[in-house]
Structure formats: C-alpha cells, structure tokens
Homo-oligomer: A and B are copies of this chain.
Amino acid sequence: MKLNITCIPGDGIGPEIVAEAKKVLDKVAEVYGHEITYKDILMGGASIDVHGVPLTDEAIADAKAADAVLMGSIGGNTSTSPWYQLPPEKRPEAGLLKIRKALNLFANLRPAVLYQELSDACPLRKDISDRGFDLLIMRELTGGLYFGARHTTEVDGVRTAVDTLTYNENEIRRIAIKAFDIARKRRGIVTSVDKANVLDSSRLWRKVVEEVAKDYPDITLSHMLVDNCAMQLVRDPSQFDVILTENMFGDILSDEASMVTGSIGMLASASLNDSKFGLYEPSHGSAPDIAGMDIANPIATILSAAMMLRYSFDLDKEADAIEMAVKSILKKGYRTADIMAEGCEKVGCSRMGDLLADEI
C-alpha cells in the first residue's frame, strides 16, 4: 500500500519525536511491504519564524493533499518566547486551531490508558490504580467556544469581552455517531458529559445524543454533568469507557484524564474528519525546556502513528504491531526519563525509537 503522509515536526521536542515515529513507521513499511512518502510542513513557532504566521495556506494545501497528517508538538515557553509577544491570532497555537477547522477535524479521540507497567506513576491511590482503566475521550473539536464569534469592546471606559458557545444539531449528531461507533468496538458504554442544568447548548446536546442513541440499542448511554465528571475521573476512572463531550469540556477533562494516568508521555490522540483523513499527535506539549536534548519520550507520537495506521489506512495488523512493541519494550524495562522507575534502564529519545523499530 502507498501511504502519503504529511508531517508537522513543529516546535520544542516536536522534531525529535516525529523523527522516531518515522523510524518506526519505516520499519513497519519494510516488514509489511508498504511504501511511505513523507512531506514536512511548518506550523506553529517554526512557521512564524519563517513566514511570520503560524500556518500558511500552502501548508494547509499540503496537509489536505496527504492521506493523513502526523504532528509533533506546537508552541514555546509563553513567558520567554517572542512568539507570545504577537497578537493571539498570530501565536503558535493559532496554527493548530486553524488546521483543525480547515481540515474539518471535528472528532478528537484522546485515549487515557493506565499501563500496568507504569501504574507506579499513577498519582492515584494504589487500590484505585490497581483497578486499572482504559477510557477514551471523544471531544468535539471544531465548534463551541473555540470557534464562536468573540469581541472585546470599550463603552464609556468599561471594557467588555464576549465569547459565544454555539452548537447546531448536525455538529452534535456527527460527533455522537463517532462516539457510539467507537464504543461498539470497545466496551459499549458512552457517558455523554454536559452542563444541561445551565446551558442551552448542553440541553440540545443531550437531546441530539439521545436521538442518536436510538440507532445504537446495544450501547449503554448515560449523561453526566461536567463538574461531576471532573470528580469521577479522580474518584474512579475505571467506571468510564467512552466519554463524549463538547470542545471546552473535552479540553479540560482530557487533560485531567491524561494526568490521572501519570504517564502523559505515553498518550496518543487522533483528530478525524468525516472521511478516513486525520491528524495524529501526542497528547503532551512541546516541552521547550528539554528540546534537542534527546531525552524526550517519543512513545506518544509513535502510538499516534499507530492510530494513524488504524484509522486512516485500516492497517490494524500494523497498528497492533506497534502497540505490542510498546508493551514489550516496557516489559523489558526500558524507560525514558519521564517514566523512569527503579530497576529499569533509562534510554534517550532516539534509542527508544531504535528499540521499538527493532521490536516490530
């Protein structure tokens, strides 16, 4: 099979971790007989430095021309980097928001999994982490407060700022369908999270999710208020399978869930549109403080590449191979600095890539 992949190395540790993901993908291509072509594009600070904007139209066109996009990470140190002297719409993160909208990537899948081998890193009490957990947050990614109209005005010397949270039923329906579809391949449980006791958008959300649920009699649906969900993720994350929620709630809850695993350096994500196309990136940030030191953990990016093989190319066997390689390497006791534990062997970013490629 021919795989046409656009890469966004990005900022901070981005280039290093994407290099390792390519290494592993190349090995997969070799072993399973595929042919991969890569094209790199600039986004975020890297693009600002060259083009003055975080994402050019040419870069968007290059991303659209690919079968899938693999991304490292975007952004720098917000207090010291000159990128953050720019107006908000020119900063690195604006590139990320722009590409999500331009490619219509409305479905953000963020798995939060507790790896047995890394359960010591979990910040939860042992009797809770011993239960293990494997949940997926399905976050709506192109609507809500992120993309509603906003403005700041000054009237009689008083500044007022307004953001708008808008959802229409079509936006809700398509993300709900994605959530139910994926729940079918998992444990069949969807928890839809909203703030229906306050927001009109949440009440519409709940209604449309209920309507979609009628087509999925095999799936167990429940609704949970966002404040309660923020509690339940700490109290007992094992109760969740798929959490379905809107953009801003998803941003907060998925980061909370990733920290609850204790090993955010292991967490992949996928942002999908209505076809097979998707953008794949680690859940963690660009860690500018350790950039270029060859100590970053490339596993989240490598697992994002596995999600890419699975969702954009239907190459399940190949995706399984990567995921199994990760488990096996953990079992053998290799660890990057962020997940280091007693009795394990500490390895750098590129060495971890080598080990995983060899394992395929």
Q: Which residues from chain B contact A160 at a C-beta distance below 8 Å?
A: 166-169, 204
Bits for A194-210, please: 1 = Cβ < 8 Å to B, else 0.
01111111011100100
A182 at the interface (CB under 8 A from B): no
- A200: contacting residue among B126, B128, B151, B198, CB under 8 A: B151
Quick check: which of A21-29, A249-257, A290-298, A309-317 contacts chain B, the rest being far away?
A: A249-257
**Contact assessment for A203 and B152 in the assembled complex, using a CB-CB cutoff below 8 Å:** yes
Q: How many copies does the complex hold?
A: 2
**Contact assessment for A255 and B235 in the assembled complex, using a CB-CB cutoff below 8 Å:** no
Q: Which residues from chain B contact A199 at a C-beta distance below 8 Å?
A: 145, 150, 161, 163
Q: How far is the CB of A67 from chain B (nearest CB, A)?
A: 29
Q: Which residues from chain B contact A146 at a C-beta distance below 8 Å?
A: 198
**Contact assessment for B259 and A234 in the assembled complex, using a CB-CB cutoff below 8 Å:** yes
With an 8 Å Cβ cutoff, the count of chain A residues facing the other chain is 62
Q: Which residue of B lies closest to A228 (CB)?
A: B255
- A125: contacting residue among B126, B230, B264, CB under 8 A: B126
Q: Which residues from chain B contact A159 at a C-beta distance below 8 Å?
A: 168-169, 204, 208
Q: How far is the CB of A137 from chain B (nearest CB, A)?
A: 12
A124 at the interface (CB under 8 A from B): yes
A33 at the interface (CB under 8 A from B): no
Q: How far is the CA of A201 from the CA of B246 in the complex (A)?
A: 19
A1 at the interface (CB under 8 A from B): no
Q: Which residue of B lies closest to A87 (CB)?
A: B203
**Contact assessment for A230 and B204 in the assembled complex, using a CB-CB cutoff below 8 Å:** no
**Contact assessment for A227 and B251 in the assembled complex, using a CB-CB cutoff below 8 Å:** yes
Of residues 245 through 300 on chain A, the ones whose CB sits less than 8 Å from some CB of chain B are 248-249, 251-256, 258-260, 264
Q: Which residues from chain B contact A150 at a C-beta distance below 8 Å?
A: 199-201
Q: How far is the CA of A97 from the CA of B199 in the complex (A)?
A: 12
**Contact assessment for A235 and B123 in the assembled complex, using a CB-CB cutoff below 8 Å:** yes
Q: How far is the CA of A196 from the CA of B198 in the complex (A)?
A: 23
A226 at the interface (CB under 8 A from B): yes
Q: How far is the CB of A182 from chain B (nearest CB, A)?
A: 22
Q: How far is the CA of A146 from the CA of B201 in the complex (A)?
A: 12
Q: How far is the CB of A6 from chain B (nearest CB, A)?
A: 24
Q: Which residue of B lies closest to A170 (CB)?
A: B158
A50 at the interface (CB under 8 A from B): no
Q: How far is the CA of A198 from the CA of B89 in the complex (A)?
A: 9
A88 at the interface (CB under 8 A from B): yes
Q: How far is the CA of A230 from the CA of B264 in the complex (A)?
A: 14
Q: Which residues from chain B contact A31 at a C-beta distance below 8 Å?
A: none
Q: How far is the CB of A167 from chain B (nearest CB, A)?
A: 6
